[in-house]
Amino acid sequence: MSVVLNFKTQLHEIFTHALRDFAPDQLNATINIERTKQSSHGDYSCNLAMQLAKPMRKSPREIANGIIARMPQSGVVEKVEVAGAGFINVFITTVAKQSVVKGVLQSGNNYGCLQVGNGRKVGVEFVSANPTGPLHVGHGRGAAVGDCLCNVLKTAGWDVTREFYYNDAGAQIDNLTLSVQLRCKGITPDDPSWPESGYRGNYIIDVARSYMAKDRVESDDQHITGKGDVDDAEAIRHFAVAYLRREQDLDLQAFQVKFDVFSLESTLYTEGKVEETVNKLIASGHTYQQDDALWLRTTDFGDDKDRVMRKSDGGYTYFVPDVAYHLDKWRRGFERVINEQGSDHHSTITRVRAGLQALSAGIPKNWPDYVLHQMVTVLKNGEEVKISKRAGSYVTLRDLIDEVGCDATRYFLAARHPDSQLVFDIDLAKSQSNDNPVYYIQYAHARICTVLLQWGGNNAALLKAETEVLNSEYETKLLQCLIDFPQVIEVAAEELAPHLIAFYLKELAADFHSYYNATRFLVEDEKIKLARLALIAAIAQVLKNGLAILGVSAPEKM
């Protein structure tokens, strides 16, 4: 039989065909096909009959039987049953399940790739740290989640643009400038004149020393040389921002995260985009003057209260350039935009969306999408770690990478739902044990590579393996797990939940380790040997593909 790589897709086509024949006036109905929780209920279940009961004025079971009677013949489907109130349960043939091994081996690195996005553009903004210091562990979680989300979306068929937005304007940059300037003058945080909001980390000393030495900063679009003039605050500002942007770029390189676009808040002002946006909002009729300030009537768009746009001193509140920035994204052709940010940005969602709606620019109501991550607590020797030698008041991303490596850092920061609190246990991340999930998954891949190396045969021979002998309980479970991989990617892309890939890989690794401990692979029976080797080679390929989405390596030796 032909190789089937995505049973849900094939079943969707079968049900669509049956629906067209059975109820041609109901073709707008949503065909939901889900994996069953119990094998006795088949492999997949569809609730289409219950959806159609009300509009067709028939019982769900009657509709289900009518749909089943019109389902076309398929080498994938063994039998179909009606269960409960009207669920349609589908049993997949054993031969079809076994064919997934060949499908994975033929597809290689492309196994799991989908066309859900159909090449549509999506812009994903993540990290977007203020250039006021090294990236902290919270930024690291944003980097891991955002980068993995981009990989998931790309695998699902979206045209992904990765974007970093620098908040290089405002009070925090003023504080940075003053902190560096004071260090240039030899004033330390112990001095009574040091401002309460000044930055105290040792990295400020490095910035000041480099500025005074008239060093040159070169990175991406930056080419700035320190002037060494302690009284030129503007020169210090530009140099400090460029220096720390370069440092953050180095942090991200160590984390294997790359961006396609870097945007600066300051350019929104220098290019007149903030002023243009404010004028458009005024023209929209959704603004008003009160207490010498300009307000946006965000309550017109679901906010709990109106928001100040321009303060009485003439400065803009922080959400105004955010609105201008997102208008720019819309004009750049992104029909979909996703912002991965810390949970402290939750309050900005409503007002940014309200500002975009007030512009009447044709932007959809709930645009952009947001993925918010919670805080990270770092543990070492069972105690919380709160400070860094480099940054002073917080744990940096580079601290974690230096301590446990890039692979473990990426996996641990991306492996839980972003909305859940995360405890990063350094000792666990460094351990070479089954309790360490990233080690456990990578060890599964390395084990398979070792077996295949011991075999020493030509991998092309595995494509000819007779997989019908793969019928043990372990093998049946592993086959289903391989079948599920494309569907896990589809759900992860739909729900913006890259942690589902980590969950899946841990389950696949566990099933393989159980199989490995119970099975001999290099047996005398050539047919059984090749089939088992083909299966574990397929498992290794899927482990590699899934780890690649997480940005984690798949070692061949450990």
User: If the chain, 558 residues long, is cut into consecutive pieces of 10 residues, what is the mean pLDDT of each piece?
Assistant: 68 94 92 88 93 94 95 92 93 93 96 94 96 94 98 97 92 94 96 92 95 88 88 96 94 96 93 96 95 94 92 91 96 95 89 93 93 96 82 86 97 96 96 96 98 94 96 95 95 97 98 97 97 98 98 96
Give the pLDDT of residue 281: 96
Half-sphere exposure of 358 (CA within 13 A, CB side): 32
Token pair, residue 488, equals: 């896990």
Give the pLDDT of residue 2: 47
Give residue limits of the domains in the chain. Answer: 7-92, 100-115+434-550, 171-256
Q: Helix-strand-coil percent breakdown of the chain, rounded to 5?
A: 50, 15, 35
Q: How far apart are CA 67 and CA 62, in angstroms?
A: 9
Contact 541, 466 (CB under 8 A): no
Contact 98, 29 (CB under 8 A): no
Q: How far apart are CA 82 and CA 199, in angstroms?
A: 67
Please give the distance of CA 418 from its chain centroid, rounded to a whole number.
9
Q: How far apart are CA 45 and CA 129, in angstroms?
A: 45
Contact 269, 321 (CB under 8 A): yes
Q: How far apart are CA 522 and CA 513, in angstroms?
A: 16
Give the pLDDT of residue 288: 95
Give the pLDDT of residue 8: 86
> Whole-prediction pTM value?
0.92
Please give the distance of CA 193 from its chain centroid, rounded to a whole number.
44
Pairing of strands 307-310, 336-342: unpaired
Give the pLDDT of residue 3: 52
Contact 221, 162 (CB under 8 A): no
Q: How far apart are CA 414 and CA 113, in angstroms?
A: 20
Pairing of strands 44-46, 87-92: antiparallel
Alpha carbon of 297 to those of 285, 302, 308: distances in Å? 9, 10, 9
Q: How far apart are CA 117 and CA 161, in angstroms?
A: 13
Give strand pairing partners of 160. 122
Token pair, residue 65, equals: 């039987």
Q: Identify the CA nearest to 30 among candidates 10, 16, 9.
A: 16
Give the pLDDT of residue 9: 85
- Apex CA 548: angle with CA 108 and CA 513, to 5°? 80
**What is the secondary structure of 59-115 as a DSSP string?**
-HHHHHHHHHHTPPP-SSEEEEEEETTTEEEEEE-HHHHHTHHHHHHHHGGGTT---
Q: How far apart are CA 342 and CA 354, in angstroms?
A: 20
Token pair, residue 530, equals: 């090749």
Contact 487, 35 (CB under 8 A): yes
Kind and range of the H or E run holding 80 = strand 77-83
Contact 332, 122 (CB under 8 A): no
Class of domain 100-115+434-550: mainly alpha
Give the pLDDT of residue 170: 82
Express each pLDDT in 491-535 by its tens digit.
Answer: 999 999 999 999 999 999 999 999 999 999 999 999 999 999 999
Give strand pairing partners of 123. 161, 337
Q: How far apart are CA 371 and CA 145, in angstroms?
A: 9
Give the pLDDT of residue 529: 98
Fold of 7-92: Gyrase A; domain 2 (3.30.1360)
